Structure 1
């Protein structure tokens, strides 16, 4: 049979492509043909109208809203999460085949629609419960923030590496820039990176609002986020401003207006009224209390020492490892990135602990699969090779192929190791100003040798734990030699 599929996850980085790879492998093994559109962070590789028209059924493996869903009107569809595609791609294809047999396509997609370029995605699955919607709204904001975090954070970190921490006191490059001076280039990198980081809260708020009420809510969300920065409400204020803007614009959209006015509502009336209402509320009503809460939180973080700091590091480490790039992982990562905007020593320690804990699971599983290969399936051993690089690059999703095939043994094992790494990193006082980069930003780490000790300790703990867990109840090596459909992303 011929299938088409769309895969998409909130951040559009690893899960999107791993699900596509799993579906392609399962289709090949079953003798089917499949074309997969990955709606990832690099944009969507759109299916052609002909490919959609020829398909017997459609598979949506997505944790977010599928872009241009109308292209597939009339086709039998199967919907699942990306993790379901990674874990059981063959089962999804069987369901798609059954759906095709029971309800053959009765309508063709509109000609040329599949050729349209990808647009902004709301990232929210239709029909989800309020809890799921809230998570997806927040993940939308996070997904659009990540490019700003990566660009701005790494440029700021590079500036410190080139010019030292005093580079923040350098004059504006518009007033003084010497192309032959390394200090000037460091100042330039710092000021560009700082400009990018200044967008974090407005972008977060704007795209949370966008997820809730579509394009008319973007302007009120950005305005609310900018006001949150102005009044000192920080990331917490940005979250509230985004939810508030989405709710306000969503309520305004439900007001019935004359047809003559309806055409200007999305482009003028809704952004205008939404920005006004959100601005008044943020400036006059809730901005001050949120700023006070942020100040209290910052003070608490700065006061963390000893056992309290270790406990926080352990908790963040466990969250990072638990779902390997999923919502819980992103909560911990967003918390750490949000702290970078405060510039306090403790916030830099938190960022270091989160990154170290995120590197641990793929490295640990790669180590375990290397030293005790007989305990792992051929597909898992194949996944171990890229896991080394993924782990070193702070891509926790490198652990997913192992967890997908043996979750009850793997997940507790990697959580234990990442918990230890996070706690040790905080105890050692390691700091990090870069929000990403893994071992490749080691020169930017404070206490780099102790930082490596924390990572190595967690890797060894997780590797030993997973080897021990896999030996329990197993008299011999795994007999399954079938290629794991969740193996390695291209």
Structure 2
């Protein structure tokens, strides 16, 4: 049979492409053909009209609204979260075959261009909804983090840390000197970083109450920066803005006014309420909490720093790109805006710990090939680059196939790397990049040592656990086949 599919995850980075690869491999194993459109952060090549017309069924593996859905009107459609395509592609194809056999076409969808999306489901529980609200904010935050952080890191590489005190390029810019370009990179990156808290707050609010909440969220986030409340203030501002607009939407208004409510009234009243709350009620306590957290981080040393590194490592490997992983990463990125030594050490520990899972599984699948399937060995070859690039999601195919052995093993190695990185005092000013920003890491040799040790620990742990499982299976098979049992 022939299928077409669309894959899309909120960040549009790893899961989008891993789901596409899983669908393609499963289709090949089944003797089917499939053409996948990846609606990721790098853009997408749309499916051709011929591919859609000749397809028996359509698979949407997406955590957010599919763009151009109207193209598939009249075709049987199967929908699932993007992780299901990674973990259970075979099940998706069974559903697609059933839909094609039933011949149940999808209703025509109205044509729509690209739009802002949220991954919050209408029927999710409150705890899940809160987590998804926060994850939506983080997913829109990541491009600003990557652009701003890497520009700042590049400026330090070109001009040294003293480039932060260079005069404004609007007043003095020497195009013929490296220092002039370094100052320009630093100031562009700083401008991108200045949006972090407002973007976080704005898109948390958007996830809660749609477009009318974006303006109040951005306003609340900007005020959080003004009063010194930082990322904690941004989180609160986003939740406040979303909650206020949700409440305003419940108010019944005459039909004549409904057209202006989302464009004028909700943003206006929401901004007023959130602004007053942030300036008068919430701002100062959140600023005090942020200052207290900063002072606590700066005071960390010895055992407490090592324990924090281990905790962050555990979080980075627990769900490998999921909410817990993103919470640790966002915590580290938030510290970058303070520029303190402890915050830079946390960023280094988080990145090192996040690199361990894919690197460890790449190593394990290379050293003990017989313990892994052919598909896992293929994923292992790709995991070398994913791990080196600090894309923790490269370990997901292994964790999906054997979670009770892989995940604890990865958590152990990541905790080791996080704690060693903190103990060694390695620092990092870039929010991403993996080994490609190694020249920007303080104490790079010790950071590399921490990474190698954690990778070796995780690889050894997963090999040991898989060997134990294999021996247990062999023993059980031998007992079953013995004459006594016969």
Q: TM-score, normalised by structure 1?
A: 0.91
Question: In structure 2, how many angstroms separate the alpha carbons of the residues matched to 1:167 and 1:96?
Answer: 57
SS in 1 for 2:34: strand
Unmatched runs of 5 consecutive residues or more in structure 2: 475-486
Equivalent in the alignment of 2:390: 394
1:336 counterpart residue number: 332
2:128 equivalent to 1:132: yes
Say whether residues 1:310 and 2:331 are aligned partners.
Answer: no
User: What's the counterpart of residue 179 of structure 1?
Assistant: 175
- Aligned alpha-carbon RMSD (Å): 2.2
2:13 counterpart residue number: 13
| Equivalent position of 1:34 in the other structure | 34
- Larger deviation: 379-388 or 144-153? 379-388
- Mapping 1:100-139, distance limit 5 Å: 100-102=100-102, 104-105=104-105, 107-110=107-110, 113=111, 116-139=112-135
**Aligned match of 1:207 in 203, 207, 210?**
203
Contact map agreement 1:64 1:136 (CA 8 A) in 2: no
Partner Cα distance (2:238, 2:44) in 1: 26
Q: How far, CA to CA, are the matches of 1:155 and 1:462 in structure 2?
A: 33
**Cα deviation 1:263-309 (Å, max 9, x = unaligned):** 22222111111111111111111111111111111111111111111
The answer to whether the Cα contact below 8 Å between 2:77 and 2:105 also exists between their aligned partners in 1 is no
Secondary structure of the corresponding residue to residue 316 of structure 2: helix
Asked if 1:61 is matched to 2:57, the reply is: no
Determine if contact 1:67/1:121 at 8 Å carries over to the other structure. Answer: no
Task: Compare 338-347 and 402-411 and name the one that shifted more.
Answer: 402-411
Q: 1 CA distance for matches of 2:106 and 2:443?
A: 64
Residue 474 of structure 1 aligns to a residue in which SS?
helix
Equivalent position of 1:482 in the other structure:
none
Matching residue of 1:170? 166
1:56 and 1:104 in contact (8 A); partners too? no
Q: Tell me, what secondary structure is at the counterpart of 1:325?
A: coil
> Which residue of structure 1 lines up, in the alignment, with residue 352 of structure 2?
356
CA drift of 1:243 comes to 1.1
Instruction: Pick from 274, 277, 280 the counterpart of residue 276 of structure 2.
Output: 280
| Distance in structure 1 (CA, Å) of the matches to 2:43 and 2:211 | 18
Q: Is the 8 A contact 1:53 1:109 kept in 2?
A: no
Give the number of aligned pairs: 474
The CA distance in 2 between the partners of 1:32 and 1:420, in whole Å, is 44
- Contact persistence 1:74–1:109 (CA under 8 A): no
Match of 2:466 in 1: 470
| SS of corresponding position for 1:40 | coil
Counterpart of 1:156 in structure 2 is: 152
**2:218 aligned with 1:232:** no
Specify the alignment match of 1:196 in structure 2. 192
Instruction: Report the secondary structure of 1:404's partner residue.
Output: helix
Q: CA deviation at 1:396?
A: 1.0
Offset of residue 51 of structure 1: 5.7
Deviation at 1:237, TM superposition (A): 0.6
Q: What CA deviation, in whole Å up to 9, does each residue of 1:95-129 have, x standing for no partner? A: 2222444571264445xx2xx43211122223211
Q: Does structure 2 retain, via aligned residues, the 8 Å contact 1:376–1:477? A: no
- If asked which structure has higher relative contact order (CA below 8 Å, sep 6+), I would say 1
Q: Alpha-carbon deviation of 1:65?
A: 4.4
CA-to-aligned-CA distance 1:441-471 (integer Å, 9 cap, x gap): 1111111111111001001111111111111
Q: How much has 1:254 moved relative to structure 2?
A: 2.5
The 8 Å contact of residues 369 and 380 in structure 1, kept in 2 or not, is answered as yes
CA contact (8 A) 1:15 1:397 kept: yes
Cα distance in 1, alignment partners of residues 252 and 4 from structure 2? 39
Q: For residue 82 of structure 2, what is the aligned residue in structure 1?
A: 82
Indicate if the aligned counterparts of 1:375 and 1:477 stay in contact, CA closer than 8 A.
no
Q: Deviation digits for residues 380-407 of structure 1, max 9, x if unmatched?
A: 2222222111111111112122222222
Cα distance 1:50–1:371, how it changes in 2: closer, same or farther (>3 A)? closer
Greater CA deviation, 439-448 or 6-15? 6-15
Residues 418-459 of structure 1, C-alpha deviations (whole Å, 9 max, x = no match): 010000000001000000000111111111111111001001
Q: Is residue 92 of structure 2 the alignment partner of residue 92 of structure 1? A: yes
The structure 1 residue matched to 2:441, chosen from 433, 442, 445, is: 445
Task: Summarize the Cα distance change of 1:393–1:56 in structure 2 as closer, same or farther, 3 Å threshold.
Answer: same
Alignment match of 2:457 (pick from 461, 474, 490): 461
1:259 pairs with 2:255: yes
Question: Distance in 1 between the 2:38 and 2:238 partners?
Answer: 27
Q: SS state of the match for residue 61, structure 1?
A: strand
Shift of 1:54: 6.0
**What is the correspondence of 1:418-433 to structure 2 with a 5 Å cutoff?**
418-433=414-429
What does residue 486 of structure 1 align with? none
Report SS of the residue matched to 2:39. strand
Query: What does the per-residue CA deviation read over 1:132-190, in whole Å, with 9 as the maximum and x for residues that have no partner?
Result: 21111111111111111011101111111222211111111111111122211111111
Deviation at 1:70, TM superposition (A): 6.5
Change (3 A) 1:73 1:40: same
Offset from partner CA, 1:186-239 (integer Å, 9 cap, x none): 111111110100000000111111111111111111100000000111001111
Q: CA deviation at 1:331?
A: 0.8
